[in-house]
A and B are shown apart, each in its own frame.
Chain A
Amino acid sequence: MLALQLLCNGIVTGCALGIVAVSFSLVYATTKIFHVAHAGVYTMSGYVAWSLLRHGFPAPIAFVGAIAAATALGALIQGVLYARLERRRATHLVVLIASLGTLAVIQNILAAVFTANILQFELPWGSQVFHLGGNVRLTMTQLLTVLVNVAAYGGVMWFSHGTILGKQIRAVASNPFLAEIVRLQPRRVHIYVMAIASALVCLPGILVPLDFGLQPYNGVTPLLTATIAMIAGGVGSITGAFVLAIVITELQNMSLLFIPGEWSIGVTFFIFVVFMLFRPTGLFAAAR
Chain B
Amino acid sequence: MRTLLRYGIGVIAVVLAATSAHADTIRFGAILPLTGPGAGIGTQQMRGIQFAVEKANAAGGVHGNTIEILFEDNQAKPDQSILSFNKLADLQHVPMIFSAYSGPSLAMAPLATRKKILLVNAGAQADKLATASPYLVNTLPTIGDEIKVISKYLAGEGKKQAAILFENDAAGIAGRDDYQKYFPEAGGTILAQEPTQFGQTDFRPALLKLADAKPEVMLVSITAAALQMAQQYKQLGLNFAVAGTTFLQDPTLVADPSSEGIVHTQVRIDAPPELAAEFKAKFGVEMEFFVRQYYNATQIILAVTDRLLTEGKPITGESMHDMLFTIGKFQGLIPLEFKTNTATVPLDINVMKGGKDVTIKQMSSD
Contacts and interface: CB of A to CB of B under 8 A. Distances in A.
Contact of A9 (B39, B43, B208, B225): B208
B156 interface: no
A13 B232 CA distance: 14
25 contacts: A2-B208, A2-B209, A2-B211, A5-B236, A6-B208, A13-B202, A115-B40, A116-B35, A116-B40, A116-B43, A117-B43, A118-B40, A118-B201, A120-B228, A120-B252, A127-B235, A137-B235, A137-B236, A217-B37, A217-B39, A252-B205, A256-B208, A260-B194, A261-B206, A262-B195
Nearest to A262: B195
Interface string B181-194: 00000000000011
Interface of A: 1-2, 5-6, 9, 13, 108, 111, 115-118, 120, 127, 129, 137, 139, 212-213, 215, 217-218, 221, 252-253, 256-257, 260-262, 265
Contacts of B351: none
A253 B208 CA distance: 10
Nearest to B37: A217
Contact of A116 (B39, B252, B285): B39
B36 interface: yes
B200 A139 contact: no
Given A108-B35, A115-B40, A118-B224, A261 B201 contact: no
A118 B35 contact: no
Nearest to B231: A127
A213 B39 contact: no
A256 B37 contact: no
A115 B43 contact: yes
B35 A221 contact: no
Contact of B225 (A6, A213, A253): A213
A137 B209 contact: no
Contacts of A137: 235-237
A149 to B, nearest CB: 16
B8 to A, nearest CB: 22
A218 B199 contact: yes
A2 B212 contact: yes
Contacts of A129: 235, 237
A6 B168 CA distance: 20
B195 A253 contact: no
Interface string B22-57: 000000000000011101101100000000000000
B227 A213 contact: yes
B204 interface: yes
Contacts of A217: 36-37, 39, 199
B130 to A, nearest CB: 26
A2 B252 CA distance: 30
A9 B208 CA distance: 10
Contacts of B224: 118
Interface residues of B, number: 34
A111 B39 contact: yes
A52 to B, nearest CB: 20
A6 B35 CA distance: 34
Contacts of A260: 193-195
Contacts of A218: 37, 199
Contacts of B231: 127
A256 B193 CA distance: 12
Given A127-B235, A262-B195, A221 B200 contact: yes
A108 B209 CA distance: 35
Given A127-B235, A217-B36, A217-B37, A212 B205 contact: no
B43 A118 contact: no
A213 B201 contact: yes
B190 to A, nearest CB: 14
A129 B201 CA distance: 18
B195 A118 contact: no
Given A217-B199, A261-B209, A117 B227 contact: no
A270 to B, nearest CB: 17
Nearest to B193: A260
Contact of A212 (B42, B195, B201): B201
Contact of A262 (B36, B168, B200, B225): B168
Contacts of A6: 205, 208-209
A111 B252 contact: no
Nearest to B39: A116
Given A2-B208, A9-B208, A212 B37 contact: no
Contacts of B42: 116
B252 A9 contact: no
Contact of A261 (B194, B199, B236): B194
B225 A118 contact: yes
Contacts of A139: 235
A5 B204 CA distance: 9
A5 B210 CA distance: 13
Contacts of B227: 118, 120, 213
A215 B35 contact: no
Contacts of B205: 6, 9, 252-253, 256, 261
A261 B208 contact: no
B170 to A, nearest CB: 14
Contacts of A117: 40, 43
Contact of B228 (A111, A116, A213, A265): A213
Q: Which of B205, B209, B227 has the most CB of A within 10 A?
A: B205
A212 B229 CA distance: 9
A9 B202 CA distance: 10
Nearest to B194: A261
A226 to B, nearest CB: 15
B191 to A, nearest CB: 14
Contacts of A108: 35
Nearest to A9: B204
Contacts of B43: 115-117
Contacts of B200: 221
Contacts of B201: 118, 212-213, 215
Nearest to B258: A127
